Structure 1
Amino acid sequence: MAVAKKSTNWFVVGVSTAVVIVLVAIGAAVWWANSLATGPGTAPQSALVDKDTGAITFGTGDDVVDTYVDFMCPICGDFEDQYGEQLQTAAADNAITLNIHPISILDRYSQNTKYSTRAASAMYCVADKAPDAALGYFNSLFTNQPEENSVGLSDDELASLANEAGAGAAADCIADGTYKTFVASQTTKHDIQGTPTVEVNGKRLDLQAGEITKLEDVLAKAGTAGSGADGDSSDK
């Protein structure tokens, strides 16, 4: 007896194919969402900013100083009080290259407003939209530094300081938080455990072990030597 040939159930095939397509689409969507969450984010389009390292660069000297700062960190404020003017003067004289890295490790100290991330993003906004005002804005963020465990400055206040520094063009960028993801990616990329973190000619200094003297040697060479620091660093 001849065996009847089974007919293909095209409805089942169609449903199965549709399910596969939906699953592939969902997988792609999840991958895309994860890549957005963990990606480097939008990089500032400024000649001042190295898009790979996140450094906002001043000066062209042979000796290179990198500082990683969190705008909520009080010890970073102390560091800037003690060394900021000397570093900036040396950079202006092209006696050093000063790379400033705004990073974010202290969001937990701003009552859920993520001030560290917002302030660092605002710093990149100014470097992008008004590079001539970047250093003035950097100094203003420390002059007006909020206390830890406060809500920090609002976005409107950050924009107001930018306007005072001559960077009114950065207001929309600050309001949008354009560089928040970029800040997070740079913080992770450089493995920042405490602030300030300081590197001299590519070598990370152990400030608690007194290696701040290596920075002071560079400043002395540049003719802007200061009084030195107490060596107690790093909010964590």
Structure 2
Amino acid sequence: MTNGGGNARPSKNERRDAAREKARQLREEQKRRERRNKAILFTGIGIAAVAIIAVVAIIIVNSIRPPGPGPANMASDGVKIGQDLKAVTTPSLPAGSDPVPSEANAPNVVDIKVYVDYLCPFCGQFEATNAEQIESWVTEGSATVEIHPISILNANSQGTKYSTRSANAAACVANYSPDSFFAYSALLFSNQPQEQTPGLENKKLVDLTKEAKVKSASKIASCINDGTYNSWVTDATNRALKGPLPDSDVKKVTGTPTVIVNGAQYSGSLTDPNEFAAFVLQQSAAPTSSPTPTPSPTPTPAS
């Protein structure tokens, strides 16, 4: 029996077929949604990957700079300080070039070379013991001192690479204010941090340049903060560790401080100024009318 007016109720088979069709439509719609979501997901991943690659590339470019020329006044990989504590000026060392040995002293002027790491406690001992008498000899013109900053103790500064940062700071001073180098190097030692600490922050390294009364203070500050000569520090360190060391009998640096007087390595006490002064006197040229260092803690060069 059926209702009139075309409102016949669907049969059981018709209802089942309609349900199946509805289910099919739902399945198709679900598949379309899944395909859309997958496409969106992969697109997002692709964009994110491109962004990550771009960021990594920027970091690499900024952190691994191509080697540049070394600092001015350090063609020998060190700064040579002469009479009145004035630096001997030299052009910059081109990247990848071998260091140029400093011009030889007059026969009666002692040549002292010191390879130092500003984190090295033994370097600090040598500095505290001998800085005053070395300054006296150099000021009076009876000796020169050539200071070579290197970085062999980066692993001892909790990841901050203080040895490289401090050597770079010294190089920045050498480049822009060479006559302040002796004072700045002394300040790095008088403010020397202990090993296994982060070392001095760059801000403190900059503050010490003001205490050393540098010229071009703003340029030096930028140089320190930018790590301008970090690559040079690495290269100079590798050259010192590989050797040979110019103008000496020393094949290479095996530890710091490496102290060389007229070509011969000093291996005596780091805490006895008399012992070092005696070694300097022994290595000095035969006395002439110019002064020669005498073996006392704070000597006045004798005529």
Fold in common (TM above 0.5): yes
Q: Give the distance between the partners of 1:184 and 1:85, measured in 2 at CA.
A: 30
Classify 1:115/1:84 alpha carbon distance in 2 versus 1 (closer, same or farther; 3 Å): same
State the Cα deviation string for residues 120-163 of structure 1 (Å, max 9, x = none). 11001011111222111111111110010000011111011112
Q: Give the distance between the partners of 1:86 and 1:143, measured in 2 at CA.
A: 16
Classify 1:37/1:177 alpha carbon distance in 2 versus 1 (closer, same or farther; 3 Å): closer
1:42 aligns with 2:69: yes
Q: Which one of the candidate residues 270, 279, 283 is aligned to 1:214?
A: 279
For residue 237 of structure 2, what is the aligned residue in structure 1?
Answer: 187
Aligned identity (percent) is 37
Deviation at 1:215, TM superposition (A): 3.1
For residue 115 of structure 1, what is the aligned residue in structure 2?
Answer: 162
Deviation at 1:182, TM superposition (A): 1.1
Partner AA of 2:71 in structure 1? P
For residue 263 of structure 2, what is the aligned residue in structure 1?
Answer: 202
Q: Secondary structure at the match of 2:144?
A: strand
Classify 1:226/1:72 alpha carbon distance in 2 versus 1 (closer, same or farther; 3 Å): farther
Which segments of 5 or more consecutive residues in structure 1 lack a partner in the other structure? Answer: 1-32, 229-236
Q: Give the distance between the partners of 1:81 and 1:120, measured in 2 at CA.
A: 19
Give me the TM-score of the superposition, normalised by structure 1.
Answer: 0.71
Alpha-carbon RMSD: 2.8
For residue 82 of structure 1, what is the aligned residue in structure 2?
Answer: 129
For residue 226 of structure 2, what is the aligned residue in structure 1?
Answer: 176
Classify 1:157/1:190 alpha carbon distance in 2 versus 1 (closer, same or farther; 3 Å): same
For residue 17 of structure 1, what is the aligned residue in structure 2?
Answer: none
Deviation at 1:50, TM superposition (A): 3.4
Q: Give the distance between the partners of 2:161 and 2:142, measured in 1 at CA.
A: 36
Q: Secondary structure at the match of 1:128?
A: helix
Q: Which one of the candidate residues 215, 223, 226 is aligned to 2:293?
A: 223
Classify 1:224/1:159 alpha carbon distance in 2 versus 1 (closer, same or farther; 3 Å): farther
Question: Does the Cα contact within 8 Å between 1:104 and 1:183 map onto a contact in 2?
Answer: yes
1:157 aligns with 2:204: yes
Partner AA of 1:96 in structure 2? A
Give me the TM-score of the superposition, normalised by structure 2.
Answer: 0.56
Q: Secondary structure at the match of 1:44?
A: coil
Classify 1:152/1:224 alpha carbon distance in 2 versus 1 (closer, same or farther; 3 Å): farther
Q: Give the distance between the partners of 1:37 and 1:201, measured in 2 at CA.
A: 37
Question: Does the Cα contact within 8 Å between 2:158 and 2:196 map onto a contact in 1?
Answer: yes
Question: Does the Cα contact within 8 Å between 1:59 and 1:95 map onto a contact in 2?
Answer: no
State the Cα deviation string for residues 184-221 of structure 1 (Å, max 9, x = none). 1111112222110011112333347x995523545897
Asked which structure has the greater RCO (Cα within 8 Å, sep 6+), the reply is 1
Which segments of 5 or more consecutive residues in structure 2 lack a partner in the other structure? Answer: 1-60, 84-104, 242-252, 299-303
